[in-house]
Structure 1
Amino acid sequence: MSPDRAVLERAIERGEQEGGSVEFKERLTKDLHATEGRFESLAAQLRHRVLSGDGEATYVVGVTDDGSLAGIGPETFSESMDVLSLLAEEAGAHIDDVETWGVDGDTATKGASGTDGIVGVATVREGAVMSDDEHIVVGTAGHVDHGKSTLVGSLVTGDADDGEGGTRSFLDVQPHEVERGLSADLSYGVYGFDDDGPVRMDNPHRKSDRARVVEEADRLVSFVDTVGHEPWLRTTIRGLVGQKLDYGLLTVAADDGPTKTTREHLGILLATDLPTMVAITKADLVDEERLREVEREVERLLREVGKTPLRVERHGVDAAMEEISETVVPVLTTSAVTMDGLGQLDELFKRLPKTAGSDRAGEGFTMYVDRTYNVTGVGAVASGTIRSGTVEAGDELLIGPMQDGTFREVEVRSIEMHYHRVDEAQAGRIVGIALKGIAEVDIDRGMVLVPREADPEPVREFEAEVMVLNHPTRIGEGYEPVVHIETVSEAAAFYPEGGQLLPGDSGETRVRFKFHPYYVEEGQRFVFREGRSKGVGTVTDVRPVE
């Protein structure tokens, strides 16, 4: 018996008991179980199960009242989870986790489609899902060995580092459930706040401990920790450009100072207009004179790119809160060993408002796909950050463009945020959306999900205003960098107006994707890179495929 299957067997063995926390359901349907009267009764039942389990209940779906495996089809299971989510919300709880298993025809009835059925175990926990406004996402960047992962590890645990990067290991195992659906080549961490102060993890390697933070905190701070090595700059760009972050956190080690990679990461953060702060790390390794020297280097670096540094130690957290913007960059001095400066970071993260998506919540729904996966009994799931608008279970959407430029009709089976099944989600949220009408193999990173009535146009070429940040010679016609726009990473040919662009130049250029079209809109920011050549740009006009 596999460990996963053991979860199901243990739940069935415990069985339904009066005053127990386990409930068996063969299925839950909107027509029968969400009707007036029945709905209230079932919500009260769920509340009773949750209270009996000290805040946690287990619902086994796809089994009969005596615990025999019945199995239900994928669509019926999805509907059952939707109804369970509504019941949980009514009872002041939420679905925290869902595990599913297929059962063969010898032990289960066939689903509605004629396929073998599935059973699932849903863990329901007390407390409502946190509102979008109380969850900020911070992208960390900086040169390798400049202490960004160690700093985040000390923030999420509250533990001082041992001087050997011990707290860094907390980010090197699995993506946290809050950020579920992103590639494992980025690392993640999370902590939160309640009325008494920070809510931290005792052991981030335990899923239950990470889940505890999500449940107990009134406000969450998630970190997307990027890669510091130069060869993986493409991954860093995707982490900073494609995730709809609220803030950037750039680290500079006091014993090393700003490097070429520091400048590149800063350029990427600022190219996306992301409000950013700088943490000077490893202050315990240098004397006061060296620390002041690095502080001056950081301030010069920021002024060189047109930004105003604001020393938090000098002006205070309140000033940093009021002034942080596209032009003002707070600078703090920290040490994960002595914990100096981490209290100020705590105060900033506790109070900073959410920024990603807040200005686009009222627009039509769009989400660029960052990763795909397949879930037993659910099917294809596309994950990413909602760029604008709101999505609900049951929405009819289009996904694409495909290789030939077409968009395919799909339907939202269900939506998941940090393992919580929800009925809807809005701009700025990282979600996994289960889709009906498409297989996972047909979904690629860089595709977009939009409403069917949006009538999207595939774009092969667009006009852009670009700035060349670095290039050994000049950019001429046919220059082919990789363009990073939203979650798209695609080779494209540049055709500059006037025939060329020199390092430091700004100008207009036509950009043509080399292999196939994408969904591109005016005003989108992008980064382009090829070898040592790097630049930023803004889409000014699009040319739909004819």
Structure 2
Amino acid sequence: MTTKTSLRNFQSEIDQIRHREVARQRDQATAERAKEKEVKKTPVRHGTAAEPPAPVKGDGGDLQIKELAGLSDVDERIQSLLLSASPADHDKAREIVASSLTRRKGEYILRLGVHPPHSKLFSKQSGSLEDSDGWRGSALTAEELDTLQREVKEILTDIGGVTTVLFDTRTDRPRATLLLRLPPEDVSVTPEVRCAVVGNVDSGKSTTLGVLTRGALDDGRGRARVSLFRHKHEIESGRTSSVGMEILGFGLSGAAILPSTAHSIDSDVIRREKMGWEEISAKAAKIVSFIDLAGHERYLKTTLYGLTSGAPSCVILIVGGNAGLIGMSKEHLAIALALSVPVVVCITKIDMTPPNVLAKTIEQVTKIMQSPGCRYAHRGLMLAVHDRVLCRKTTVFVESTETAVELSQVFATERLCPVFQLSNVTGAGLDHLRTFLNLLPASESDTEKFAADQPLEYSVTEIWSVPYVGTVVDGILNSGTIKTGDSVLIGPDANGNYQSTVVKSIQRKRAPVTSAEAGQCVSLALKRVRKSAVRKGMVLVHKSDTPPRAVRRFEGQVLILYHNTTLQTNYQAMLHCGAVRQTVRMVSMDHPQGILRTGDRATVTFEFISHPEFIKEGMKLLFREGKTKGLGVITRLL
């Protein structure tokens, strides 16, 4: 039976279903592996890879408890130990620092002294920050702060790392924030953050990415974006029509890795002498990958596919300061909110926008993000759910390095929306944005989405035929690990079957690697597979006697975001579910009259029109056809 429901309540139920199904599938996979080991009866020798890792020496157990209690507890422990006169305490502090870096894949943000509460730091209300209450941490003198910075730097130097001062102030409450970073062993373990860049036409998406990744400021006429275009018609029209990928590398010190032509004013030089991905990857301690999505309405399906298949950690919404949140910007925002992807807003062109117009744009962005119920129309396309769009995000305008540092760690979990005001001509605001991007948690660290200890599952999002190499696929490892020489199955094909193949080589950011793990985006060269036999949405799994089942029909809980009349059985729409993109037909719905309207929630049985696909219970789905939009979750495979 259908019911009227809000998007917020529906998303909460979707998340509950997903969490439950993911836990069930992982428990089932763990039980199957345990059963296989029992059947093989292979003894495990002491010291083998199957042996669980040894606990951290010294302060391991106590540290784990304190870390769960709160990050500031670990910082205070390090601080108190380093200020002690006992050499044993210094050794213990060294162990805690090394352990924290190891668990966080070589990166740790250390806060020294007392720090203001987030509620005050992120607020634009008038008043001195120093006079507010609720500060966290232990007070330090300027001399103690200098001593701690020197001690931490010595520890990092001893273990081969680098200490960078992100923020340091000597006001009434001296405090500092340090970035501790270890060099990655190779490209295969370099942390990566994936960000999808969306926005309306002419909002400044490609220009902003060009300035961020190339370093050279724009001339006000689009010089910075020329190096990003992939096709001749994009250069002629000035509009992005495809899903482009750009990367920005950050070194051990946190400085952006830019080409030597960063300060050139010659467009041809900027385009020709850009830095190769291999060179950036070799120097980077962290990589930020930008998925540059099209802003024009005719390329909406390409933008949708990039958002659903790319598994971005956040969506960067580019808003032109002179135009405001118009056109497809509203569509992109609605999709990001529907998919529960954290949103970051960048207001561009502040150098050419009159102050009154810029103030109006800021007010519009704030009002839209904070409003509990919004209703917008874009050429008749309603971006609402029965007058209840899920926003309720607190906008935080990033105007200081301290705000950028703290916001990067909490904005995704505390329903905050960072807002940056940028000028690609003067460079205003770009330093705060780079600091923010440099400190974002790695995408592969999200254990809810990605699990390295589960069976291999690799989603194919791109296919190429490379001369003298053969068929090459690009995609994301949803779970498990993969190595060069592994025997795998790729499918399903039109009949639901899987083809056997071998991984010849692996590349990550165009640099050769020998292995990859869950959460990483890598390219694989496959043996004896024709390009015509591979399509987007296929998966790679380890070779076994029982390949995963291809599904033709499935059941899902759906919410109709918008439809101008009524949906009936046999209605067809384009379904986006992870890397899967195919037309589906509504076979049945639990409604006595067999119809659905805007805001209705129902259990619907779908059927793929063309061929079966690999999908799993708990996966989110988004279907669209013209102005119609629907959101849901897969609940049962039929």
**Contact 2:206/2:292, CA 8 A, preserved across alignment:** yes
Q: Deviations over 1:446-476 (max 9, x none)?
A: 1111122363001111111222222211222
Q: Distance in 1 between matches of 2:337 and 2:516?
A: 27
In the alignment, structure 1 residue 309 sits paired with structure 2 residue 394: yes
Counterparts of 1:532 and 1:321 in 2: how far apart (Å)? 35
| Cα deviations by residue, 1:317-339 (Å, 9 ceiling, x for unpaired) | 13422331163221222121222
- The secondary structure found in structure 2 opposite 1:493 is strand
The Cα of 1:234 is off from its aligned counterpart by 0.5
Hey, which bits of structure 1, 4+ residues long, moved more than 4 A? 207-210
Change (3 A) 1:173 1:205: farther
Match of 1:289 among 345, 353, 356: 356
- In the other structure, the counterpart of 1:337 is 425
Structure 1 residues 357 and 218: CA distance shift in structure 2, 3 A: closer
The residue type paired with residue 144 of structure 1 is V
Kindly tell me: are residues 373 and 184 of structure 1, through their superposed partners in 2, closer, same or farther at Cα, counting changes over 3 Å?
farther
Distance in 1 separating the partners of 2:577 and 2:549: 17
Aligned to 2:225: 168
Asked if the contact 1:192/1:213 (under 8 Å) is kept, the reply is yes
Matched, 1:135 2:226: no
Cα deviation for residue 208 of structure 1 reads: 5.1
Q: 1:357 to 1:217 in 2, by over 3 A?
A: closer
User: Are residue 440 (structure 1) and residue 507 (structure 2) matched?
Assistant: no
The offset of 1:501, in angstroms, is 2.2
Tell me the equivalent position of 2:602: 507
Letter in 1 for 2:227: F
Match 1:199 to one of 250, 254, 257: 257
RMSD: 2.4
Q: How does 1:35-114 map to 2 (within 5 A)?
A: none
SS in 2 for 1:245: coil
Deviates more, 1:332-341 or 1:137-146: 332-341
Partner of 2:502: 411
Q: For residues 428 and 602 of structure 2, what CA distance do their matches in structure 1 show?
A: 45
Q: Letter of the aligned partner of 1:134 in structure 2?
A: P
CA distance in 2, matches of 1:207, 1:388: 34
1:322–1:130 Cα change, 3 Å: same
1:442 deviation in Å?
Answer: 1.0
The structure where strand makes up a greater share of residues is 1
Instruction: Tell me the CA shift for residue 485 of structure 1.
Output: 1.3
**Which AA in structure 2 matches 1:411?**
V
Q: Which amino acid aligns with 1:318?
A: V
Q: Distance in 1 between the 2:406 and 2:252 partners? A: 23
Tell me, in whole angstroms, the C-alpha distance in 2 between the residues paired with 1:524 and 1:343.
37
CA contact (8 A) 1:481 1:529 kept: yes
Conserved? CA contact 1:357–1:427, under 8 Å: no
TM-score, reference length from structure 2:
0.61
Distance 1:362 1:476 in 2: 43
Deviation, structure 1 residue 274? 2.2
SS in 2 for 1:517: coil
Aligned to 1:321: 408
Question: Kindly tell me: are residues 299 and 501 of structure 1, through their superposed partners in 2, closer, same or farther at Cα, counting changes over 3 Å?
Answer: farther
Q: Counterpart of 1:371 in 2: which secondary structure?
A: strand
Offset at 1:259? 1.9
Closer, same or farther: CA 204–320 of 1 in aligned 2, 3 Å = farther
Distance in 2, matches of 1:345 and 1:437, equals: 45
SS in 1 for 2:398: helix
Q: Deviations over 1:88-144 (max 9, x none)?
A: xxxxxxxxxxxxxxxxxxxxxxxxxxxxxxxxxxxxxxx953354522121100111
1:154 aligned onto 2:211: yes
Any idea what the Cα deviations from partners look like across 1:479-535, whole Å, max 9, x if unmatched? 211001122211101233212222233332111111110000011112211111122
Q: 2:322 aligns with which of 255, 264, 270?
A: 255
Indicate the SS of the match to 2:351.
Answer: helix
Instruction: Name 1:9's counterpart in structure 2.
Output: none
Listed one character per residue, the Cα deviations across residues 254-292 of structure 1 (whole Å, up to 9, x for unaligned) are 111112411211122233332221111112222333222
Aligned counterparts of 1:514 and 1:534: Cα–Cα separation in 2: 19
Are 1:248 and 1:276, in contact at CA under 8 Å, matched by a contact in 2? yes
In 2, the alpha carbon distance for the partners of 1:241 and 1:421 equals 27
TM-score (norm 1): 0.71
> Which residue number in structure 2 is paired with residue 350 of structure 1?
438
Gaps of 5+ in 2: 1-183, 232-239, 262-269, 374-389
- 2:617 aligns with 522
Q: Is 1:460 equivalent to 2:552 in the alignment?
A: yes
Segment of structure 1 superposing worse, 525-534 or 302-311: 302-311
- Which residue of structure 1 aligns with residue 339 of structure 2? 272
2:576 pairs with one of 451, 474, 484: 484
Given residue 451 of structure 1, which amino acid in structure 2 is its aligned partner? H
Q: Provide the rounded CA distance (Å) in 2 between the counterparts of 1:228 and 1:408.
A: 37
1-structure distance, mates of 2:356, 2:601: 39
Which digits, 9 at most, give the CA deviation of each residue in 1:379-420, with x for residues without a partner? 222221222221111222111111111112222222121222
Q: Kindly provide the CA deviation profile for residues 64-84 of structure 1, in whole angstroms up to 9, marking residues without a partner as x.
A: xxxxxxxxxxxxxxxxxxxxx
Give the aligned residue type for 1:255: N
Paired letter, 1:353? P
Would you say the 8 A contact 2:277–2:511 is kept in 1? no
**Does the CA contact (< 8 Å) of 2:507 and 2:523 recur in 1?**
yes
**One-letter code aligned to 1:269:** A
2:299 corresponds to 1:232: yes
Deviations 1:340-396 (A, max 9, x none): 221111011111111346312322211121222223443222221222221111222
Distance between the aligned counterparts of 2:391 and 2:275, measured in 1? 45
User: 2:277·2:510 contact (CA, 8 Å) conserved in 1?
Assistant: no
Equivalent-residue separation in structure 1 for 2:210 and 2:468 (angstroms): 36
CA distance in 2, matches of 1:164, 1:219: 31
1:373 maps to a residue whose letter is W
Q: Distance in 1 between matches of 2:303 and 2:505?
A: 30
Q: Which moved more, 1:355-364 or 1:365-374?
A: 355-364
- The one of 598, 621, 626 aligned to 1:531: 626
Change (3 A) 1:373 1:322: closer
User: Percent sequence identity over matched residues?
Assistant: 30
Query: How far apart are residue 314 of structure 1 and its match?
Result: 6.0
Q: Which residue of 2 aligns with 1:123?
A: none
CA 1:528–1:158: 2 relative to 1, 3 Å: same
1:254–1:291 Cα contact (<8 Å) kept: yes
Q: Mean alpha-carbon deviation: is it higher for 314-323 or for 511-520?
A: 314-323
Question: Quick check: 1:271–1:525 contact (8 Å CA) kept in 2?
Answer: no
Q: 2:615 & 2:596 partners in 1: Cα distance?
A: 23
**2: CA distance, partners of 1:527 / 1:148:** 24
**Is the 2:281–2:511 Cα contact (8 Å) retained in structure 1?**
no
What's the counterpart of residue 90 of structure 2? Answer: none
